[in-house]
Chains A and B, each alone.
Chain A
Amino acid sequence: MSDKKLPLWLRLYGVAAYAYIYIPIMILMVFSFNTMKLNIRWEGFTTRWYGVLFNDQQVILATRNTLIIAVVSTIVATILGTMAALALHRYRFPGYNVSETMMYIPIVIPEVIMGISMLVLFVMLNFQLGLLTITLAHIAFNIPFVALVVRARLHGYDNAIDEAAMDLGANELTTFRRVTLPTIMPGVLSGAMLAFTLSLDDYVITYFTAGPGSTTLPLRVFSMVRFMVTPEVNALSTIWVLAVFLVLLAGQVVQNRRA
């Protein structure tokens, strides 16, 4: 917006707001080095909780599950979501409005409801709850997000480039492969990244569709926080925050280099 200097009170407010946001996180990270097991007061400095974390089989298993689910659900959701976005952007067909509404429903309804409804579905079908059911659920809520992002990016798409490709001798398939797909790829990747992150982070829907043997990282963190509060949780949290920080940073760098 403006180039003028911001009023002092606003700048102070900004600093205070950021402090409010980050101080809890900082505390969290600092206390991952606490020697006190119950982690109520600061006792001394140690890094042993990180060692505990890296040897924690349940955490390792949960991480593996989370990644598998995220990768699979992202791939499927990206394909289906991109196709849907193309359909909604370029074509008009009977059932258009219904399709569009159906696409937005998972975004708007509370996660609890999505979670329990899928639980009901799987139980009614006698599906055993496990990694598969979690993945199926993740695909379901990821498709709309991918479709939304891709559709937003399709807004400026010049249809003439597809016509140009055909004019120059490319058939429909070649046009899609050589022209359409490369052009929408940034949007598709954005959508895929969003889906991946949502899947990694998801607690509620996963909670309802997970079986006894299949835990994911968010579920594991929750039970650690609920039942087993040692600095190991802090260590896990610290690593998570740092991972998010690094990934976002990488994203920024890539974006800046492209511009």
Chain B
Amino acid sequence: MSARDASRARTRQLSLFARLRESRIFQGVALISPANAYLFFFVILPLVMIVILSFLSRGAYGQVVFRFNPGNYTRLLDPVYARILVYSLGVGFGTTVITMLIGYPLAYYIARSPARQRSMLLFLILVPFWTNFVIRIYAWIMILRGGGLLDTFLQWAGLTEEPLGLLYTPTAVMIGMVYEFLPFMVLPLYTSLEKIENALLEAAADLGAPPWRAFLRVTLPLSVPGMIAGTILVFIPAMGMFVLPDLMGGAKTLLIGNVIRNQFLTARDWPFGAAASMILMVMTLALTLFYTRRAGFSEELLV
């Protein structure tokens, strides 16, 4: 029997177990199946349910009726809701821009500090980052509310006569949003900036670029992955926030997150809430695709 035939015969003799053991495909599938199954059941399936739900109707007592109803979506075109959608986008956009404006110099400052200071500075950013956000917002509630600390301070300094009434306004919401999301913008920016080798800036200087030009033509473009990661980490959650507007914006300022929550817990119009969620999902996916197509899933996201 030739070597060839012997080999083939031997393969046939191998038990299923041995063949599986060699199969890398089997090993890979076996490892990922538990996580896949779990995520499919607890993430994908619920999302599919939401999609289906968005096309159904609400019964008289708030239960779900299996009647096809595209009206949920058309209801969203109502000026009331359209305004909320636009406002949510605006808040997301505004938060992103402001946190980037405030956060970029801060990230730059940390990145260019000497190594010892740098780890301490990072540590100081991480502490608020990991502190529960309700607590951090509460601090601002204390400051901003009518008769609160800011008012007390301004009156004591003689700058105002009456309380400013900043709490429960869109301004308060923005202040809270920026405060909440600042670390999310600073950390990826820092990661990006820190990776820029000194040698590049020295080369730019060597070739005749003054510092501001070196910044514009070398540093800024190289920090774009960080900017993109920061945008993803800020814009999307900001749009979907409902806790913050609830606490700091009062009944007047609603984001789409509030609408969704209200439909599911207060108004009990689940199909409508599902439709609103779909819109938020679409906006999220559009943003994510737009940004990751430009940068890929970079490591700056691994904050």
Contact = CB atoms under 8 A, between A and B. Distances in A.
B50 A120 contact: yes
B53 interface: yes
A152 interface: yes
Contacts of A90: 28
B136 A25 contact: yes
A172 interface: yes
Contacts of A102: 36, 39-40, 43-44
Interface string A110-123: 11111011111100
Given A14-B106, A94-B25, A240 B42 contact: no
A1 B131 contact: no
Contacts of B237: 110-111
A66 to B, nearest CB: 11
Given A27-B139, A137-B42, A244-B130, A93 B29 contact: yes
Given A110-B239, A113-B240, A13 B43 contact: no
A237 B280 CA distance: 32
Interface in A3-19: 3, 6, 10-11, 13-14, 17-18
Interface stretch (A46-54, A55-63, A76-84, A160-168): A76-84
Given A110-B237, A118-B42, A21 B128 contact: yes
Interface size class of B (residues with CB under 8 A): 35 or more
A120 B236 contact: no
B198 interface: yes
B284 interface: yes
A21 B50 contact: no
Contacts of B240: 110-113
A82 to B, nearest CB: 9
Most chain B CB inside 10 Å of its own CB: which residue of A25, A28, A92:
A28
Interface string B132-157: 11111111111101011100100000
B142 A28 contact: yes
Contact of A108 (B131, B236, B239, B261): B236
B123 interface: yes
Binding site of A, secondary structure by majority: helix, strand, loop or mixed? helix
B108 A10 contact: yes
A181 interface: no
A1 B141 CA distance: 38
A210 B193 CA distance: 41
Interface string A234-256: 00110011001100110010000
B45 interface: yes
B39 A252 contact: no
A113 B142 contact: no
A192 interface: no
A204 interface: yes
Contact of B109 (A6, A120, A217): A6
B32 A113 contact: no
20 contacts: A1-B111, A6-B109, A13-B109, A22-B124, A31-B142, A87-B32, A99-B36, A110-B284, A116-B264, A117-B50, A120-B50, A120-B274, A139-B38, A140-B38, A143-B39, A172-B21, A201-B132, A225-B137, A225-B141, A233-B138
Given A2-B198, A84-B31, A91-B24, 9 more contacts: A1-B201, A21-B179, A22-B124, A40-B147, A40-B148, A92-B24, A105-B44, A172-B21, A240-B132
Interface of B: 21, 24-25, 27-29, 31-32, 34-36, 38-40, 42-47, 49-50, 53, 102, 105-106, 108-114, 119, 121, 123-128, 130-143, 145, 147-149, 152, 179, 182, 193-194, 196, 198, 201, 232, 236-237, 239-240, 242-243, 247, 257, 260-261, 264, 270, 273-274, 277, 280-281, 284, 288, 297, 299, 302
Q: Which 6 pairs across A and B sit closest by C-beta, in order of nearness?
A: A91-B28, A110-B240, A117-B46, A24-B139, A87-B32, A87-B31
